[in-house]
Chain A
Amino acid sequence: MHRFANPARFTRIADRVLPFAGFGAVAALGIGFYLALFVAPADYQQGETVRIMYVHVPSAWMALFIYVAMAVASAAALIWRHPLADVAAKASSPIGAGFAFLTLVTGSLWGRPMWGTWWEWDGRLTSMLILFFLYLGHMALMHAFEDQQRGYRAAAVLALVGVINVPIIKFSVDWWATLHQPASVLRLDGPTIHSSMLWPLLITALGFKLYFVTLVLLRMKSELIAARLRALDLARLKAS
């Protein structure tokens, strides 16, 4: 794993992966949204508003996935002092916060015609709101120190504490209120959603994931370049 700790090697690999991830994201999102908006049937109860789901559900998956990925990167950073893991965690959290925010906004837009209110304190939306706050805390802590290394370390500990707490929070919030429909894709007895709706959903989900990969690699690259610029600036100041 430390083979990839070399920024130059990482940049070379990232440059090779980026076009595939980028074009893949554009293609999957294009096909997925076309299927979702034009081909997939309207729901017999929810009508056309069901199409919000094709953005809402993948964003919610991504928001959770990115938090776990960030926690894994943070663990790698704390255990092996892997320098790129820190950069990956830093690059991920604003993207995760963006997906959590998108989930909240689309949930609210969907709730207006369905529940008749912009905001309903139902279990899943509420736990997503708390996850959004956890992301904001991580971002704030990351930038709270003069010394970037200290910010990395503190944020990594916070991400690990957060990832232990996410299931507890999720459980407690479900305990507190359940008004949302029960899960319909990830179930032991197979998805209850019809395949004409499942495929567009999975394709957009893949598109979102590739979009995340593209964005994280770009952000990591720019972070490395920024660090290099700072080092060069310092060297020039010392020389003069």
Chain B
Amino acid sequence: MKGLAVIVGRDLRLALRQSADAWLAVLFFVLTAALFPFGIGPEPNLLRLIAPGVIWVVALLAVLLSLERLFLADYEDGSLEQLLLSPLPLELAILGKVAAHWLTTGLPLIAAAPLLAVLFNMDLTGLGVLLLAMLLGTPVLSLIGAVGAALTLGARRGGVLIPLLVLPLYVPALIFGVGATEAALADLSARPNLLFLGALLLVMLLVTPLAAAAALRQALE
């Protein structure tokens, strides 16, 4: 447990020293969403209708942006090999790195989501559920993303490959996340969607560290 905390702390410190990266993801999130009114017109009712979907899709893309850096720097300067040699199981070390990644990308996105909800004229009664769904869903994005990042280490065109590998796997999180928000906006119960999202998080919490660890071991062979 102590090793895990050390890894999270180290990655957070590194991220804070280059805080531009975290800001960049948030900036991308707001900026891309702001393009939609230009694309489809400023009609408030239409924007209100598509708000949950746009916020979620743009959040997926923003998370995608930062995935390549997840292991690449450690891979290049050799600290990943030290992690592999350390007594801490690699799976736990990966969980630590994913937690740090989520704290520096997922959490800022959640903090910025109310701004987008206002920009898109979303009914603010659904805001609580939107944030709760993002709280459950964005860790799933980081976890699956870690597998993609680990698999493409050392590949040609690794950065371009990650979206191709990861986006199809993001579909369930997107469906349940948007579903919860839309149910709340339609005065229905968001509970089933949120429960599925929670179940997805638990499954991914089990599966993805194993897969990412297998991928990292191959990359370092």
| Interface positions of A (Cβ within 8 A of B) | 78, 130, 133-134, 136-137, 140-141, 144-146, 150, 153-154, 157-158, 160-162, 164-165, 168-169, 171-173, 175-176
Residue contact B200 to A133, C-beta cutoff 8 Å: no
CB distance from A101 to the nearest CB of B (A): 15
The residue in chain B whose Cβ has the minimal distance to the Cβ of A153 is B218
What is the interface size of chain B, counting residues whose CB is below 8 A from a CB of the partner? 30
**How many pairs of residues, A versus B, come closer than 8 Å at their CB atoms?**
81
Residue contact A146 to B156, C-beta cutoff 8 Å: yes
Would you list which residues of chain B between 172 and 194 have a CB under 8 Å from chain A? 172, 175-176, 179
CB distance from A171 to the nearest CB of B (A): 8
B108 within 8 A of A: no
- Which B residues lie within 8 Å of A130 (CB)? 168, 171
Residue contact B172 to A133, C-beta cutoff 8 Å: no
Residue contact B165 to A172, C-beta cutoff 8 Å: no
Distance A39 CA – B53 CA, assembled complex (angstroms): 48
Of the residues A78, A134, A141, A175, contact of B152 by C-beta under 8 Å = A141
6 closest cross-chain pairs (CB), A and B: A172-B172, A144-B155, A133-B168, A153-B218, A172-B175, A137-B165
Task: Known contacts A136-B164, A157-B214, A161-B147; decide if A144 and B172 are in contact (CB<8 Å).
Answer: no
Residue contact B155 to A145, C-beta cutoff 8 Å: yes
- Which B residues lie within 8 Å of A146 (CB)? 156
CB distance from A168 to the nearest CB of B (A): 5
- Which A residues lie within 8 Å of B147 (CB)? 157-158, 161
- Which B residues lie within 8 Å of A134 (CB)? 168
- Which A residues lie within 8 Å of B114 (CB)? none
Of the residues B157, B165, B171, B218, contact of A173 by C-beta under 8 Å = B171
- Which A residues lie within 8 Å of B155 (CB)? 141, 144-145, 154
User: CB-CB contacts of B142-169 with A at 8 A, as 1s and 0s?
Assistant: 0000010001101111100100110111
Of the residues A154, A169, A171, A172, contact of B151 by C-beta under 8 Å = A154
Residue contact A150 to B218, C-beta cutoff 8 Å: yes
Residue contact A165 to B175, C-beta cutoff 8 Å: no
Residue contact A172 to B196, C-beta cutoff 8 Å: yes
Which of B157, B165, B207 lies at the interface centre, i.e. has the most chain A CB atoms within 10 A of its CB? B165
- Which B residues lie within 8 Å of A141 (CB)? 151-152, 155, 161, 165
